[in-house]
Amino acid sequence: MAPPSTPTTLLLTLLLLLFHLLPLLFSFPLIPSSPTCRSYCGNITIDYPFSLQSGCGHPNFRQLLFCINSLLLLHIPSGSYRVLSIDYAFHRLTLNDPTMSDCYSLAPNTSPAHGFITNPSLSKFLQPAPDNVFFLLRCRRDSPLFQLGFPDTRVCGNVSGMGCEDYYRCPAWEAGGRSSAYGTSNPPECCSVAAGVVREVNLTRLRCSAYSSAYSIAPVRARGPGEWDYGIRVAYSVPGDDETGCRACRVSGGSCGYDDTKVRGEEDVDYGVVIQRLCICGGGIDAWNSTTTCESTEISEGFIVKQASILNAVLGAIAASFLWVKLEEKA
């Protein structure tokens, strides 16, 4: 049997090359293969501006939420908190801190509480909601809370019908007892402050040993501390232009996301990361992204462009090889 001719060998080589290149057509991770970035963790919906997937949601909130064994966790510098609910209409998160005191148990001094501390860049977009009340417990006399006028403790007061005098009626205080009187010689064992009074609940800086947090979202004021909602209500915000752009993207059938690309200059100098807002459209192998909406022709340079360029190059080479074989056969 005669060996195959040179043109035939070249054609077989190109076909083998196409077989190996096909997986590359769908290997670019610039956009998710799902038609939407919306997802779930347990019974909680994860939607814009949050996400559990890279490239989805708003870049200010990336690597903030994690889903572990169907439990949704928020991770910030002061620790990890279980997310009980997300209210997208009012831009609120409800968190639970396992080290926090409540109406039925006071955190022991041997188990330091987390408090609530975000990094400076995130605090612009994520901070305790105005309807949240913090009860700072067993703060030292040299606490910044009292420095301006101790023993005058007017910084501690009733907030939205919730104050320490009510909190003292909780079973937790009856079980643990109060070691010092509410008077002028010692600071109060509880100081209730509104969320806006302290920018962050940094227990080390405030020199307090524990804290509790409660909120009320019902129009009727709760009768007593046993009926308060214990947890941390956190308000989040998104820049106005991003909110408007995302709304337009979603109306067109897309999902809001972003692409962060490292920019390098001459001599491979790293100039940092450029973040571009994207509207993710379609799904599966037909997924693509736009810089505006899914109805726009402004497709960002990425998945569909690179996919088409590779495919066109391979198909062009095969077509040229077929033509060469035909010409060789006629020669």
What is the CA angle 255-257-261, rounded to 5? 150
Mean pLDDT by 10 residues, the chain (331 residues): 57 58 47 60 94 89 92 94 95 93 80 84 89 90 76 73 90 67 61 84 90 80 82 91 87 86 55 76 74 71 43 57 59 59
Does 145 share its domain with 194? yes
- 10 Å CB burial of residue 273 (0-12, 13-18, 19+) is exposed
Residue 2 lies in a domain: no
Question: Based on the domain organization, do 254 and 203 belong to the same domain?
Answer: no
In a domain, 122, yes or no: yes
Q: Are residues 204 and 173 in the same domain?
A: yes
Q: Is the domain of 114 the same as that of 194?
A: yes
Q: How far apart are CA 265 and CA 85, in angstroms?
A: 44
Q: What whole-number distance in Å separates Cα of residue 181 and Cα of residue 307? A: 73
H helices present in the chain, as ranges: 6-21, 120-123, 164-167, 171-176, 203-206, 240-251, 303-330
Q: CA geometry: angle at 237 spanning 235 and 240, to 5°?
A: 155
Q: What is the DSSP-derived secondary structure letter of residue 299?
A: B
**Does any domain span residue 250?**
yes
- Cβ-count burial of 243 within 10 angstroms (0-12 exposed, 13-18 middle, 19+ buried)? middle
Residue 310 lies inside a defined structural domain of this protein? no
Domain that holds residue 161: 90-233
Residues 105 and 199 in one domain: yes
**Calpha distance 99→97 (Å, rounded):** 5
Which residues make Cβ contacts (< 8 Å) with residue 41, sequence separation at least 6?
52, 65, 67, 70, 71, 72
Using an 8 Å Cβ cutoff, are 138 and 220 in contact?
Answer: no
CA distance 113 to 126: 20
Distance, CA of 45 to CA of 93 (rounded, Å): 12
Backbone conformation region of residue 160, classed left if phi is above 0, alpha if psi is from -120 to 50, else beta: left
Structure tokens at 281: 């459209």
Same domain for 126 and 141, yes or no, is yes
What is the number of structural domains in the chain?
2
Same domain, 173 and 190: yes
pLDDT the model gives residue 26: 46
| Number of helices (H), then strands (E), in the chain | 7, 15
- Rounded Cα gap, residues 266 and 32, in angstroms: 31
**Residue 164 covered by a domain:** yes
Do 229 and 154 belong to one domain?
yes
Instruction: Give the pair of three-digit tokens for residue 196.
Output: 């806006």
Dihedral angle over CA of 119, 123, 129, 134, nearest 10? 40
Domain-located, residue 114: yes
CB 35 within 8 Å of CB 331: no
Distance, CA of 108 to CA of 187 (rounded, Å): 19
Asked, as a colleague might, if the bond just before 128 is cis with ω within 30 of 0, I would say: no
Are 101 and 228 part of one and the same domain?
yes
Q: 249 and 194: one domain?
A: no
> What is the pLDDT, as a whole number, of residue 31?
40
Whether 25 maps to a domain, the answer reads no
Same-domain status, 71 and 154 = no
My answer on whether 149 and 282 are in the same domain is no
**Does residue 269 sit within a domain?**
no
